[in-house]
Every structure is written in structure tokens, then in C-alpha cells.
Structure 1
Amino acid sequence: MPHTGHHLRAVFRRPDFRRLLSARLTFQGADGVFQAGLTGTILFNPDRQTSAMAIALGFAVLLLPYSLIGPFAGVLLDRWSRRNVLIIANIVRAAVVPAVAAMIWVGIAAEAFLPLVLIVVGGTRLVSAAVSAALPHVVDEKELVTANSFISTAGGLAYAVGIAAAMGLRPLFGASDHGYAIIALMSVLGYVGTALVIRKFTPNELGPDDVPDSGGVSVARLAWHELRTGAQHLAARKNAAGALLVVVGMRVFFGAALIAVVLLYRNYFTADGFFRTHETGLGQIMFASAAGNLIAAGITPAATRLFGTRQWLGMLLPLAAAAQLGLGILFTMPGLIAASFLVAIASQGARLVAETTLQTECADEYRGRVFSVFDTLFNACLVLGLVAGAAFLPETGKSYAALIVISVGYGLLAAGYLWLSRGSTLPVMPAKPKTEPAQALTQLR
């Protein structure tokens, strides 16, 4: 941990890192506020009734279209000024949110405003990929692990704070269409604020460094060609690709567990003292997960340097399996909160390793498309888990069989990864910089 503290102090000496961090915190806080308003409208508004499959399909509408266009956006991140992308994307989101809020206010069905919500939520994936691709431009390579761990975890905490702030405002505005519309509208301040912070960077300060000539080829053809070369670039780094597949596999099981938790807090649990149901109870789950993310950020850099990527992942996956089965099977609110905390440590630890590996192993001209492909798989696998859970779970969300399947799934992922990566000894998060970063063949998120 002393090494981590030293690296963190070095990172914070960079004003450009502090500026990029401020932008990340601002837009993720705004995302929390907006999505709290949206979630309250769809899940817990007494004027609206939503089935489990409708919830899962809502996620699909929001995430899958971006999953299809995301890789093409990644090509643009490798060709357009990432600073300008961050500004324009947040201004567009700030312009769309009032329209969504107006439709919520007048009680229009969710299906009607989901296409607009797609722009806001899809914009989050785009700007997150842009920040990840830009991070190596604002920190030294030897500090990249610490910077990535901190900025990712701090962003998650900002998102949780945004949700908490929105929940705190709900008694003031009411749990109705009008109240949730006002809460969603307040996110505009964060998106505009992010654009103002990013404006302080020069147009090319966040990359990309080298932009090849397109030779008059259409964007669609160019995107398809460069995505293919980007996939080849990643596939050549087999340890990183394998770890990435583990992470997106984890998202399937996370999606199934997520829909179960929503149903349990909406239809099964009853409030008991400190432990609450509905939005407040889900907020407690989210804060437990945020705490787990924070712990993961603190221990992952040191753990990967001590054990190496393969061994660290081999510890995290069984942790997730044990938490799901040992604590989740109690089907109590304290048990689920504890399980969420431990699963968050495992998930965030794996995600941080993968993300850092992509940043260090992939050349700058490939980073944008690689991170967009990563987000595409991340989202698609989450939706797959949500739909599978909604199809097989009862309305209460309580299912011992589903819990066992999820736990066994984590175990199988661990066994498969350890078997396929046997013989690998290269750590992903070195304490000292490599002269040739492309030689470090491991990463995971």
C-alpha cells in the first residue's frame, strides 16, 4: 500500500489528470441522477406496472443498439479529437434530457421515450470509452495502473452519490411522474458542467496521436476494416483477450443476479428497521457495491504485482461464487448486501486488471475501438443475463436453482480461465514501467 500511495500522489500532481478526473466525476454523478429518475419512473412509480421481462427488454432497448454501433464509435475515437467528442456528446445529452423529462411529466408510456433515453445512456458508454482511451495522455505510464484504478472507482462512487442525491430529493418532489421528471431534469447541470471542464484541454491533448489517412473510403467501410484490424490487434495479446472474455462472462451472471435483486426488493422483501425495500433498499445494495469497488481499487494494484494477473483472477472468481452461494442463498436483505459487497470486489478487481492491460498493451491508434468493443461485449452480456433471469425467475425473484447456476457459472469461468492461461506468468500491473508495453500480455476488468 505505500507504493500505491506514492503512485497516487504522483498522479495528482498532474493538473491534466485532475481535470479529466473532474470531468469523469461530474458526468457520472449526472448519470446517477438521471438514471435514478428513470428507474423510479419505470420500476417504482405506483402509476406504472412493469413486469420482469419488460424491465429486461428495457435494458435491451437501451444497451443493445449502442452495442451494435459502439465499435464504429470506437473507430471515430481513434480518428477524431477525443476532447471534442467529450464536449459534443455531453452537450447533446444535455439537450435531450429536457425532452425525456417532459415526456415523463405528462405520463407518456416508457416505450415512447426509450429511444431518447438511448441517446443519453449510449452517450455514457461513448464518453466513458473516450476517457479510458485518453487516460494515458494525462499520466505517466508507470502511474497508469494507479490512475486507472482511482478514476474508475471514483467514477463509480460519483454515480452512487448521484443516485443517493436523487433519492434524497424524492420526498421533496414526490414519487410521481412529476417528481421523477424534475429529478431527471437536474442531470442537465452535470452534463453541461462536464463539457465546460473538458473545454480547458487543447483539441489534440487527449489524442489520438497518429490519425491515418482514410484514402476516401467511407466511414462505414473504414470502420468495419479497422474494427477487424483492432480485433486482430487484441487477439494477438492472448492473455489480455482471455481475461477480457472472463470479465464479459461475469456480466452474464451479474445480469441474472441483478434482475433477481430488483424483483426481491420490489415483490418479496418487507422493510425491517434499517433494511428497506424498493428504491431505498436498492440504494443500500448500490452503496455496498460502491464500497466493494473502493476496496478493489485499493488492493488490486498491489495484489497483481504480488501474485500476477492469473493468480489474482483465480482468487476473485471463487470469491464471487462463494459470496453468491454462501450469503445470497439466505434470501435476506443483510445477506444480499454482504454478497453485493464481495461480488463488487471480485467484479471491479477483474475489470480494473483488464482495462489497464488494454491501455498498456494496445497502441494508441487502436485504443478507442478496443474499448468500444469491450463496452459492446460488456453491455450485450449484461442484457443476455437480464433476459435469461427474467425468463426463468419467479415474480418474487426467489429461486435457489438460479442462485446455484450463477455460483457454478463463476466457478466454471475460474476453472476455464486457469486452464487456458496455464503457463502464463506475466503480471499485468508492474510496479515499474516496461520499455515495451506490448510485451505485457495480461489484463482483465
Structure 2
Amino acid sequence: MDNNWKRKFTILWIGQFISLISSSAVNFAIIIWLSLKTESAEVLAFAAIAALLPQALIGPFAGVYIDRWDRKKTMIFADGFVALCTLFMSISFYFGYESLPLIYVMLGLRSVGSAFHMPAMQASIPLLAPQSELLRIAGINQIIQSVSGIAGPALGAFAIGMLSIGNVLLLDIIGAAFAIISLLFIYIPNSIPDEKTAASFRNIWNDMKTAFYEITRNKGLWYLFLYSIVGLFCIMPVAVLFPLLTINHFKGDKFEISIIEVIWGVGMLVGGGLLGIWKPTISKVIIINLMHILIGVTFAWSGWLSADQFVFFVILTAIGGISASLYNASFTTIIQEEIQHNMLGRVFSLYYSFSVLPSIIGLLFTGFIADFIGINYTFIILGLVIILIGICSFFTPALMNLSKKKNL
């Protein structure tokens, strides 16, 4: 293992930090634009689907190529593709063509780039750092994402108030440029593929089956994936509906939407900070199960609040952010520890596809249900289901024994 891994991560984190802030600002500006323009849960659900579906569909195939290609170049080209697509959309808006279909197309194209960038980044981390530091690195990654989640919405709210949506999109291009430049200054080793075979359809299909077998052969890991996928089926729709709950139930506006986004980011910052400076002694599986329950409680309780209890909604949102941060870091670390390095790209891509496709179905129906029964009741129902998932996880022996012999 390269002894200069800390220097590499510092350079990598600087580029990713700037890129994440700009992307967070653009994403939040789009959410505000859609929320205030339409006030429709269905429109927000369709926007989320447009941002998720391409990545879910091509993810398994992207994972195979990620494990075959140079991961550094893969991330550079993915960032560059996203920047070019965003530039095209910005130019279209500049000439006055602002429409929902164009927003959906933009989100879809950004999703294609993410299908290659995100798994390549996660698969590269174990090749850069000692295994004993993976959970701490995951915690620091959560800090970076959290700070971006705090500064991004503030920047996005300011930008959408001062600029047109077309000009706001340019922030994403600047962020992508910083991410690409930072990658040029570091060396990322590549794992050795199982076989140096041509990337024919048969070989790609076999690689995908191998990755699927890698997950299913470990019963505990399989249950971890299963519960996480079912959990995301409920979490994803709730996450998309946060702005509408703020507007419709708590009678908020841009300022209140920004507060909720920032507070969620503060919660994730606290959670990431805890893991960055402190190594918990309990099993990562227990942390994941407890965070499922805690996230469900915050969602259900948020839906139960009356319209004049916005302050309590803010507090619950902060607790939810902390829980999500601890959950994400623990889950990612378990995958990086349990899966062979030369298969991480495929496994992360498969997991994302398996989790997002059901979530898209949930988003599709939740948009209609929320418009019909009310957003607050949607929060209550889905929150209770997430609590049930966490409880069931504790009564699954194979999952509870996963990584039992490994200390955090």
C-alpha cells in the first residue's frame, strides 16, 4: 500500500468537495424551481425518476467496464461528459427554452455520467488506503458530502434568486473542472481483472453473473442488500417529498426549504465527524439496523407534526441526517471489506441498480398517493415501514453474524 495515501486523498477530496458543492447547489436550485413552479409531488417524482433511471439501467454494464478500465480515466471522462451535457442545457435555457422535458433530459444525462463516476470512486478507495482506515475514510467522505449539503443549498437558493436557471447550471461545469484537475495530480492503481478477455456481450454478461454470485454466496451480505433495497424503496420517495412537505404542510417557502436542506446536511456532517474522529466498538451491522429504525422514526414523526411545529420538524431532520450519515458510511465500509477489490465496481453498480429500480416504482406511485392522501400521511406510512425493516434486521441471524469477527 502506498504510504502517500493521505496526500492522495487530500488532493482528491479538495476536487470532490468543490464539485459536490456546485452539484448540490444546482440540484437544489432545480428542486426549488420545480417546487415553486408546479407545487406537484408528481412532477418531483418524475424528476427523481429521470435522475435515477438511466443510472439504474446501465449501472450493471457500467460496473463491468469500470473493473476493466482505468478507474482514474473513467472518473475524468464521466465528469467531462456531465459538464458537456450541462453546458448544452445551459445554452438552451439561455435562449429561452425552459421546460419540464428539458429538465428531465438534463437530469437523465447527468445520471449516465454518475453511473460510471460513483462506482469507480467507491471501487478506488480500497486501492488507495489501508483497510483499517476504510470506515474513517467513509466518515470523512460523509463530512465532505455534508458540508456540500449545507453550503450547496445555500448557494443554490442564492443563485436561483439572483440568476436564471440557465446561468445557475454553469456552477456545475466549474465544479466538474475542479474534480477533473484534482484527478490529474494523483495516481490510482487498478486492480487486476479476473480474465483479460475481450468485452463481448457474453463476457460482460458472465462478469455481471460473477458479481451477482459474489453477493448471493455470502448470506449475510445478501440480507444486507435485501433490507437496504427495501429500505430505499421507502426512503427515496420521502427524500424527494421533503420540499413539498415544507411548502404544503408547514406553509414554508424558499427560506424554509433551504433551512431543511441545510439542517439535513448539518446532521450528516455531525454523523461523518463522529466516524472521522472516533471508531465505534459495536458491529457496523448493528449501526445499520439502528439507523434504519431511527430514520423511520424521524420520517413518521415529521408527518405526525402539526403545521405550527416547524421547529420540531427541523430537529427531526437533523437527527435523520445524522442517522443517514452513519448508515451510509457503515454500509459502504462493509461492502469494501467483504468484496474482492477487482469486483467492487460491478458490485457497487449492481447494488445501485437493484436498489434504484424498486425505488423508482415507489416514486411513481408515491407521487400519485401523496397528491391523493396528503404528503404528511405518506411520511407516516413509509416511516413505519422503515422502522419495521430495522426491527426485522435484528432477527436475521445471517445478517447479524456478518463481519462479526472484524472490529470497527
Q: TM-score, normalised by structure 1?
A: 0.82
Aligned to 2:360, which of 355, 358, 383? 383
Q: Please state if 1:257 is matched with 2:238.
A: yes
Q: Which deviates more, 158-167 or 77-86? A: 158-167
> Compared with structure 1, are the counterparts of its residues 94 and 308 closer, same or farther at alpha carbon in structure 2 (3 Å cutoff)?
same
Q: Report whether the alignment pairs 1:136 with 2:136.
A: no
Any conservation in 1 of the 2:150–2:263 contact (CA below 8 Å)? no
Question: Following the alignment from structure 1 to structure 2, what is the Cα–Cα distance between the partners of residues 217 and 122?
Answer: 20
1:421-432 map, 5 Å: 421=397, 424=401, 426-427=403-404, 430-431=407-408
The aligned residue for residue 203 of structure 2 is: 222
CA contact (8 A) 1:268 1:396 kept: no
1:321 aligns with 2:296: yes
Structure 2 CA distance for partners of 1:33 and 1:125, relative to 1, 3 Å:
farther
> Bigger shift: 320-329 or 20-29?
320-329
> Following the alignment from structure 1 to structure 2, what is the Cα–Cα distance between the partners of residues 429 and 166?
42
Matched, 1:280 2:255: yes
Is 2:35 the partner of 1:60? no
Partner of 1:22: 14
Change (3 A) 1:183 1:300: same
Q: Are the aligned partners of 2:143 and 2:269 in contact in 1 as well (CA < 8 Å)?
A: yes
Identity fraction in percent = 16
8 Å Cα contact 1:37/1:166 also seen in 2: yes
Q: Do the aligned partners of residues 240 and 23 (structure 1) sit closer, same or farther apart at CA in structure 2, a change above 3 Å counting?
A: farther
Supply the distance in 2 between the matched residues of 1:167 and 1:265 (Cα, whole angstroms).
15
Corresponding residue number in structure 2 for 1:242: 223
Deviations 1:233-288 (A, max 9, x none): 11222222322322232222223323442322333433xxxxxx233322211222
Per-residue deviation at 1:321? Answer: 2.9
Q: Output the CA distance in 2 between the equivalents of 1:196 and 1:217.
A: 29
Structure 1 pair 103–399 and aligned structure 2 pair: CA distance change class (3 A): same
Contact 2:149 2:264 (C-alpha < 8 Å) held by counterparts: no
CA contact (8 A) 1:259 1:389 kept: no
Q: What 5-or-longer segments of structure 1 have no aligned partner?
A: 1-10, 174-178, 271-276, 432-445
Task: Report how far residue 35 of structure 1 moved.
Answer: 1.5
Q: Which ranges in structure 2 are unaligned for 5 or more consecutive residues?
A: none
**2:246 partner amino acid:** Y
Q: Spell out the pairing of 1:25-44 with structure 2 (5 A cutoff).
A: 25-44=17-36
Could you say if the C-alpha distance between residues 311 and 108 of structure 1 is closer, same or farther in structure 2, counting changes exceeding 3 Å? Answer: closer
One-letter identity of the residue aligned with 1:391 = F
| Matches of 1:366 and 1:89, distance apart in 2 | 20
Q: How many residues align?
A: 403
Measure the CA separation in 2 of the matches of 1:311 and 1:302.
19
Q: Structure 1 residue aligned with 2:386, among 407, 410, 415?
A: 410
Q: Deviations over 1:351-391 (max 9, x none)?
A: 21111011111111100011111222343344333223212
Deviation at 1:304, TM superposition (A): 7.6
Residue of structure 2 aligned with 1:392, choices 366, 369, 389: 369
Task: Go from structure 1 to structure 2 and tell me whether the alpha carbon gap of 1:261 and 1:163 turns closer, same or farther (over 3 Å shift).
Answer: closer
- Post-superposition offset of 1:78: 0.3
In 2, the alpha carbon distance for the partners of 1:379 and 1:164 equals 28
For 1:247 and 1:303, the matched residues in 2 are separated by 25
Residues 418, 300 of structure 1: alpha-carbon distance in 2 compared, 3 angstrom cutoff: farther
Pair 1:71 & 2:60 matched: yes
Alignment TM-score, normalising by the size of structure 2: 0.89
| Partner SS, residue 107 of structure 1 | coil
74, 97, 101: which one pairs with 1:85? Answer: 74
Contact 1:255/1:382 (8 A) holds in 2? yes
The CA deviation at 1:64 is 1.1
Alignment of 1:208 with 2:191, yes or no, is yes
- Give the 3 Å change call, closer, same or farther, for CA 253–425 of structure 1 in structure 2: closer
Q: Residues 72 and 403 from structure 1, CA distance in 2 versus in 1: closer, same or farther, beyond 3 angstroms? A: same
Q: Distance in 2 between matches of 1:425 and 1:208?
A: 25
Asked if the contact 1:96/1:120 (under 8 Å) is kept, the reply is: yes
Richer in helix (by share): 2
Distance 1:389-1:244 versus aligned 2 partners, 3 A rule: same
TM-aligned CA deviation for residue 303 of structure 1? 8.6
Q: Is the 1:37–1:183 Cα contact (8 Å) retained in structure 2?
A: yes
- Separation in structure 2 between the aligned mates of residue 109 and residue 230 of structure 1, nearest angstrom: 40
Confirm or deny that 1:95 pairs with 2:78: no
1:364 lines up with 2:345 in the alignment: no
Q: Which amino acid aligns with 1:362?
A: I
Note the 1:335-350 alignment, pairs <5 A. 335-350=312-327
Looking at structure 2, the residues matched to 223 and 351 of structure 1 have their Cα atoms a distance apart, in angstroms, of 29
Q: Which residue of 1 aligns with 2:141?
A: 151
AA of the residue aligned to 1:311: I
Counterpart-to-counterpart distance in 2, 1:425 and 1:86: 31
CA RMSD of aligned residues (A): 2.7
**Secondary structure of the equivalent of 1:394?**
helix
Do the aligned residues in 1 keep the contact of 2:301 with 2:380 (CA within 8 Å)?
A: no
Q: After the TM superposition, which parts of structure 1 deviate over 6 Å for at least 4 consecutive aligned residues? A: 301-304
Contact 1:305 1:427 in 2 (8 A): no
Alpha-carbon contact 2:245-2:376 (below 8 Å) kept:
no
